[in-house]
A and B are shown apart, each in its own frame.
Chain A
Amino acid sequence: MKIGFSDSQKKFREEIREWLEKNVPKIPLNSFDTKEGFEEHREWEKKLNSGNWSMVTWPEQYGGRGLNLIEWLIFEEEYYRAKAPARVNQNGVFLLGPTLMEYGSDKQKEKFLSAMATGEHIWSQGWSEPGAGSDMAAIRTTAFKKGDKYIINGQKTWSSRAAFADWTFGLFRSDPESDRHRGLSFILVPLDAEGVTVRPIPQLDGEPGFAEIYFDDVEVDVSNLLGGEGEGWSIAMATAGFERGLMLRSPARFQETASKLLSLYFKNKDNLSGSIESKVLQSWLRAEAYALNIYQTASKLMAGKKIGPESSLGKVFWSDLDHQMHQTALDILGVSSELEEVVADDVASWIKGYMFSYSGPIYAGTNEIQKNIIAERLLGMPR
């Protein structure tokens, strides 16, 4: 055991810090759930890429730096410290990227990874359907092969950022005879293809953060199949593993929220009750515990171990934590907490974050589903 950063990692931290200080926009960008903000965030992705910062763990040939997971965590820490823009292409760089690296052909990597890194292709993910939420194996949208095309018909929903995105990746039923998780294929679909209709859905904050996607005889080249036909389920599970595991929610964001909460608490301390104090303290403790756990997990992965159902433990932990922190902040702010205005104490960002924290226990597999996984696959309890 050797806990701490190497000299080259410390230098790396300085390098990214300096770059971000120079380049992070002084005025926050508009929300990426608006057309205007989406394009501003695309520009930002391009800028990140110009410094080779899109995804530091990727190989250099695709715009990465070939660095390890610890360095990625350092990058994330600096990124949140600098209050840099949210990653509009997170479904691409964090989820599809690693999946392509593992299952994609050289041609697919060539075609998609660099375009992803530059922000030329912004990705959404298409798992959920009206009849297939928690029960993802109930997917009914079909993609039947005809010559060198897949013909896609059906509907996806809740696809984050699909309102303005360029591509979606998802699971489609390619075998007409199949049911449940058999006969599904992982296919990449351009959202400007003929027959695709995207209907944005306003979220709790009123902005179209996700969308329904309708497919009406959409033709997609067979070269857009990732992995083998009918192997979609296991590939999707790998993507979902990245999502629940470290990639989707690196610890830095929660630690930054926790320290913001501490500042808010100490500023108002004299008027606050003991129960608020203990929630503030717990928030900080748990944000730290999450970070330490993720560093240990990253270390294990680097030593060649695999993580499977363990990633479900983290999903429940961070989503509960995120809600607790925002709830506590609102309790401190009291009557001003309802204001979506730019006033003191960053009130607007707390209420926005609070709204979003309600979705944490739902997306990426609800916390109830995660607990089923923990009980059945980690503890060995019967299905």
Chain B
Amino acid sequence: MNFTFSEDQEIFRDAFKRYLESNVTPEKIRSGWEDNNPFNQARWQELEELGILQSNLDEKYGGLGLDLVTSCLLVEEMGYYALPEPAAEQIFLSNLLINKSADIAKLIDDKNQFISVTHSLSPNILFLENSSKLINLGEDSISIFFSKDINGKKLKSSDPSRDLTNFIFENSDSGLLQTLNDQKSLVNNVVTSGMVMSAAVLIGLSRKILDLATAYTLDRKQFGKPIGSFQAVKHMLAQAAIEIEFSKATLYRAAYSLDNENPLQKLHAAQAKLQAIDACEMVSRNSMQAHGAMGYTWEMDLHIFIRRGWSYKQVWGNKSLLENYIMNQLEKDLPKLGSTYTFL
């Protein structure tokens, strides 16, 4: 049992963090919003140069071949800095599809172009115009489209970093490159990975939101002292820290289970996502509260991160869906619950 990250994993993560720290600032995010172009092509290039875009792509396709546990660490940082480019779940999922299906690998040979991935759990197309191709995951089929031929309807998200397009795939073959059938297990695997990735985004966001709140409470003074010295404020943020702490190991275990094809991977992923949803909600509320009215403004950066959480809580498995899944699973597995089964 070694539940820690390797030195290599931490070094890679830290290098990426340094990049994000100086290149994905709230100012830059806001300027993307103002230009109505949150997807920054130059930054996308840099992500490629850093090896992030290809990090989980198999080496035979020119990637680094890193596992999902490592992806998870990277995605957490993408969440922490609210990186607008949907590298998070999107690129890692399209890489997974390529790794796991030679057919898809042949169809997606667009080196490091953005490939948008949709599924009923994340149905709106992200950054259609910035993508070269689109992969739509059906129940047990996978269809690949040329993005430029898709004529959808633009949708406005509460998170201006999310450029969304609605498109009805059913009975439409405009831009259709190919449909692969009998893909149930691959679809399942990718959707499960999506759960884990979106959970990682939420944990990263939660950490950032709490950091912002803590810093604010040191700075802002009322009654002649920093508001962070008031116990009511301390306890709100302490509770937030507790929620974050107890989501992390569940998240990394879920990624590990996917990497190792654990038969319970979907259950583990659902646990991770649910924990992350609850953590992010509590952290967001308490942190907003600690800011007072200032937190409720467009000007303060806090909302950049909070609103991103609103979306990620819902895509790739939301509370209701996950709870139903877990409850059914538990009823089936009842004889096999309890502490001695944690790692089977």
Binding site for B on A (CB under 8 A): 1-6, 9, 13, 70, 76-78, 80-81, 251-252, 255-256, 258-259, 262-263, 266, 277-278, 281, 284-286, 288-293, 295-296, 298-300, 303, 310, 313, 316-317, 368, 370-372, 374-376, 378-383
Q: A77, B340: Cβ atoms under 8 Å?
A: yes
Q: A381, B1: Cβ atoms under 8 Å?
A: no
- Binary per-residue interface labels of chain B (1-21) against chain A in the complex, 1 for a CB within 8 Å, 0 otherwise: 111111001000000000000
B69 to chain A, nearest CB (A): 5
Residues from chain A with a CB closer than 8 A to the CB of B237 are 375, 379, 381
Q: B246 at interface (Cβ–Cβ under 8 A)?
A: yes
CA distance A284 to B5 in the complex (A): 26
Q: A299, B234: Cβ atoms under 8 Å?
A: no
Of B2, B247, B331, which one neighbours A289 at CB under 8 angstroms? Answer: B247
CA distance A299 to B331 in the complex (A): 31
Q: B152 at interface (Cβ–Cβ under 8 A)?
A: no
Residues from chain B with a CB closer than 8 A to the CB of A1 are 2-6, 9, 69, 252, 256
CA distance A258 to B339 in the complex (A): 9
CA distance A65 to B253 in the complex (A): 29
A82 to chain B, nearest CB (A): 10
- Binary per-residue interface labels of chain B (239-270) against chain A in the complex, 1 for a CB within 8 Å, 0 otherwise: 10110011111101100100000000000000
Q: Which B residues, 325 to 344, have Cβ-Cβ distances below 8 Å to chain A? A: 326-327, 330-331, 334, 337-340, 342-343
Q: B1, A2: Cβ atoms under 8 Å?
A: yes
Interface of A is mostly: helix
Q: A299, B2: Cβ atoms under 8 Å?
A: yes
Q: Which of B140-148, B154-162, B180-188, B223-231 contacts A (4 or more CB under 8 A)?
A: B223-231
Q: B249, A292: Cβ atoms under 8 Å?
A: yes
Q: List the B residue with the shortest CB-CB distance to A368.
A: B235
Q: B246, A371: Cβ atoms under 8 Å?
A: no
Q: List the B residue with the shortest CB-CB distance to A375.
A: B234
B326 to chain A, nearest CB (A): 6
Residues from chain B with a CB closer than 8 A to the CB of A290 are 246
Binding site for A on B (CB under 8 A): 1-6, 9, 69, 210, 214, 217-218, 225-226, 228-229, 231, 233-235, 237-239, 241-242, 245-250, 252-253, 256, 271, 274-275, 323, 326-327, 330-331, 334, 337-340, 342-343
Q: List the A residue with the shortest CB-CB distance to B5.
A: A1
Q: List the B residue with the shortest CB-CB distance to A269.
A: B331
A262 to chain B, nearest CB (A): 6
Q: A262, B330: Cβ atoms under 8 Å?
A: yes
Can you list 21 contacts pairing A with B, beta carbon distance less than 8 Å? A1-B3, A3-B1, A3-B3, A5-B343, A251-B339, A259-B334, A262-B334, A281-B323, A288-B271, A289-B275, A290-B246, A292-B250, A292-B342, A296-B252, A299-B3, A303-B4, A310-B245, A317-B242, A379-B237, A381-B218, A383-B229
A178 to chain B, nearest CB (A): 28
Q: B234, A4: Cβ atoms under 8 Å?
A: no
CA distance A266 to B332 in the complex (A): 10
B90 to chain A, nearest CB (A): 24
CA distance A253 to B217 in the complex (A): 38
Known: A4-B343, A303-B4. A378 touches B234 (CB 8 A): no
Q: A313, B241: Cβ atoms under 8 Å?
A: yes
Q: B238, A375: Cβ atoms under 8 Å?
A: yes
Known: A3-B253, A9-B1. A382 touches B246 (CB 8 A): no
Residues from chain A with a CB closer than 8 A to the CB of B323 are 278, 281
Residues from chain B with a CB closer than 8 A to the CB of A375 are 228, 234-235, 237-238
Q: A382, B274: Cβ atoms under 8 Å?
A: no
Residues from chain A with a CB closer than 8 A to the CB of B339 are 76-77, 80-81, 251-252, 255-256, 291
Residues from chain A with a CB closer than 8 A to the CB of B340 are 13, 77-78, 81
**Extra inter-chain contacts (20) besides given A256-B338, A295-B3, CB under 8 Å:** A6-B1, A78-B340, A252-B339, A259-B334, A281-B327, A285-B326, A286-B246, A289-B247, A291-B342, A292-B253, A293-B246, A295-B1, A295-B249, A295-B342, A371-B239, A372-B231, A379-B234, A381-B217, A381-B237, A382-B218
Q: List the B residue with the shortest CB-CB distance to A374.
A: B238
B289 to chain A, nearest CB (A): 14
Q: B1, A5: Cβ atoms under 8 Å?
A: yes
Known: A293-B245, A372-B234, A375-B238. A259 touches B252 (CB 8 A): no
B283 to chain A, nearest CB (A): 12
Q: B246, A289: Cβ atoms under 8 Å?
A: yes
CA distance A313 to B331 in the complex (A): 31
Residues from chain A with a CB closer than 8 A to the CB of B1 are 2-6, 9, 70, 295, 298-299
CA distance A222 to B252 in the complex (A): 50
